[in-house]
Amino acid sequence: MIPLPRRGRNTEPAEGRRTGPEERSRVRAFGLRTRLLAAFLLVAAVSAGTTSALTYREARNALLKTAQDTAVSTFREQVQQTGFGLPVQEEGMEEVLRDLARKGKPRPWVVFAEYGSVRASSGENPVSTVITPGLRRAALANPYGSFERVVKDGVLYLTIAMPTVFRTGPYDTLPSGLVLYAVMRMTDEQINVDALLTAARDGALPGLAVALVPGLIAARSVLRPVRELRRAARSMGSGRLDTRIAVRGNDELADLADTFNESAAQLEDSVHELREAEARARRFASDVSHELRTPLAGMLAVTEVLDEDADHLDSDTARAVRLVSAETGKLAVLVEDLMEISRFDARAAELNADEVDVAETIRKTLQNRHWTEDDRVHAELPTGIRARLDPRRFDVVIANLVGNALRHGGAPVTVRLRTGERPTGTPVLITEVADRGPGIHPDSIPYIFDRFYKADAARTRSAGSGLGLAITQENVRLHGGTIRAGNLPEGGAVFTVEIPLHAEEATA
């Protein structure tokens, strides 16, 4: 028998159980959505950050360069309009410097002059604290204008050193030894650059926010087919083999959906074929049994007559006649069993449940089979246990188990009746049939209820049809119960049947 997924069965509990992972996936830490979003944000952050940073740097450098170059050239032009006698004299110097400072463009600056030991300035202190020794050295070593940005006490200054030269001839100049310094606060530049920085940052952050949108869309476009695929796979797993996915687009995910659909279609076809083959096989067995029944009935009638007359035949013929009669009887049992099991397979078996006294039912079964007449069968049947059972089927169960125990196990066979509870709390009727035989080989226990299973491979022919335990199991199942086979610790096999006391509830 092929274990086939059954339509419509067990789907509710399965669905209910699996809502867990679905909800978990929405908050999964490193799920596909998180990773896709992270990747998008990272790319956006890198590009926005790099662009902003480079733009900002270029703009800042351009801004600074303009400001510095303007300041240096303005200062040079202004200095070139002044004149000094050599040696430079301290008196009168301050007025010249103040004049220079007033003309400072675009911003006023403080002008310092250094010549020999002469120190003068347009401000309050004759010597600047901002000008670095490096700038002084550079100004004195080379007759070139130079500047340096200095941060002092958190304030940014531009310091310009302007060495002066004077003409010694129409084509020649000589450094005069007088160096003029201008010190200017770069407040405006700092404000502008800060504004640039703010702009770059404020430009990058909305860029990141905007990148979130395509990130979410991309994640959705990937995740939706994946989610559909998962739903479809689960649906297939629960038996709905006609599940298909809508194929959208032309990408890899669409290919995957296509493949899934193809596989599902092939699986559905295969399963359909298998089902049909199985149904045909069952129908065949059922038909064969039916067809055999009529001739067998005739044969049974004939063999009965022959059996009666066997005593008058010679011994060889009589033995042959009895053999034929016995085998015909076995054949009849086999055919009956086959038909019974066919009904189970076709799900045609019906449970005609009735409220019965179980002890009474079992006792009747044993009496009908004439097993209570000697000591071979011992029954422990407490009275007062009532259950909803199909008396005919329960009779088959008990008869099969006891008959089986007598045939394969060893007397005395004990039939015990009690009630119990399943772990789920359902009250059950427990019937145990134990024998004192050699027990069941442990290797055989898993297969003991299989059809035509022979526990002893050497014993190919037995009194039974080989279907007894299989039919027993089907009958117990029909009651919503279970049957187990096992060995007692003191020796002997034991079969335990558990049937819910209220069969309607279990099968409902």
Partner 1 sequence: MRRTRPHRRAAALAVAAAVPLLGGCGIQESDVIEAGGPATVEAFYNRSEEVILFFRTPDGRLNPVIRTVGSSPGFGDEYTEPGPAGTIGPPTTEKAIAELLTGPRPKDRAAGLTTALPPTRPGATIKIDPTSGSTVTTHLPFPLKDLNTTALRQLTCTIAYSKDPGGRLTVKLTGQDGGSHSDTCGLPSGTPG
**Which CB atom, from 212 or from 297, has the smaller least distance to partner 1?**
212
Contact 233/240 with Cβ under 8 angstroms?
no
Cα–Cα distance, 192 to 215 (Å, whole number): 34
Among 14, 32, 144, 265, binds partner 1 (CB under 8 A): 144
The H-or-E segment that residue 172 falls in is none
Q: By C-beta, is 25 or 496 nearer to partner 1?
A: 25
Q: Minimum CB separation from partner 1 for residue 79, in Å?
A: 4
The residue (of 66 and 419) whose beta carbon lies closer to partner 1 is 66
32, 62, 155, 174: residue in contact with partner 1 (rule CB under 8 A):
174
Q: Could you say which of 171, 375, 384, 459 contacts partner 1 (CB under 8 A)?
A: 171
Query: What number of CA atoms fall less than 13 Å from residue 101's CA on the CB side?
Result: 20
Q: How far apart are CA 507 and CA 477, in angstroms?
A: 10
Say whether residue 452 binds partner 1 (CB under 8 A). Answer: no
Q: Which of 401, 363, 355 is nearest to 379 (CA)?
A: 363
Q: Is 73 an interacting residue with respect to partner 1 (CB under 8 A)?
A: yes
Residue 248 CB, nearest approach to partner 1 (Å): 29
Cβ nearer to partner 1, comparing 83 with 384: 83
Q: Does 66 bind partner 1 (CB under 8 A)?
A: no
Nearer to partner 1, 50 or 317 (CB): 50
Question: 3-class SS at 396?
Answer: helix
Q: Is 49 in the site for partner 1 (CB under 8 A)?
A: yes
Distance, CA of 380 to CA of 254 (rounded, Å)? 68
Q: Count of CB atoms within 10 A of residue 500's CB? A: 20
Strand partners of residue 498: 430, 482
List 101, 111, 113, 162, residue binding partner 1 (CB under 8 A): 162
C-beta closer to partner 1: residue 135 or 387: 135
Nearest Cα neighbor of 450 from 467, 433, 463, 464 is: 467
Candidates 94, 107, 108, 156; binder of partner 1 (CB under 8 A) is: 156
Query: CB-wise, 183 or 448, nearer to partner 1?
Result: 183
Question: 196 to 255, contacts with partner 1 by CB under 8 A?
Answer: 197
DSSP for 57-77?
HHHHHHHHHHHHHHHHHHHHH
Does 111 bind partner 1 (CB under 8 A)? Our answer is no
Applying CB under 8 A, which part among 42-50, 248-256, 330-338, 358-366 lies near partner 1? 42-50
With CB under 8 A as the contact rule, the residue among 37, 98, 107, 118 that binds partner 1 is 118
Q: Min. distance of Cβ 97 from partner 1 in angstroms?
A: 13
| Residue of the chain from 5, 37, 59, 166 that contacts partner 1 (CB under 8 A) | 166
Binds partner 1 by CB under 8 A, chosen from 132, 221, 426, 507: 132
Q: How far is the CB of 75 from partner 1 (least distance, A)?
A: 8
Q: What angle do CA 388, 476, 490 make, to 5 degrees?
A: 110
- From the list 182-190, 340-348, 373-381, 416-424, the region that binds partner 1 by CB under 8 A is 182-190
Contact pick of 33, 40, 72, 332 for partner 1 (by CB under 8 A): 72
414 near partner 1, judged by CB under 8 A: no
Residue 97 binding partner 1, by CB under 8 A? no
Residue 135 near partner 1 by CB under 8 A: yes
Number of residues that bind partner 1 (CB under 8 A): 76
Contacts from 406-410 at CB under 8 Å and sequence distance 24+?
Answer: 406/371, 406/376, 406/377, 406/435, 407/462, 407/463, 407/464, 408/435, 408/437, 408/455, 408/462, 408/493, 409/435, 409/436, 409/437, 409/438, 409/439, 409/492, 409/493, 410/435, 410/436, 410/437, 410/438, 410/492
CB-nearer residue toward partner 1: 197 or 356: 197
Residue 386 bridge partners (DSSP): 357
Asked if 140 touches partner 1 (CB under 8 A), the answer is yes
**Scanning the structure block, which residue is given the tokens 């890198």?**
46
Q: What is the biggest distance separating any 2 CA atoms in the chain, rounded to whole angstroms? A: 171
| Exposure letters 221-259 (e unless 16+ CB within 10 A, then b) | ebbebeebeeebebbbebbbbebebeeeeeeebeeebee
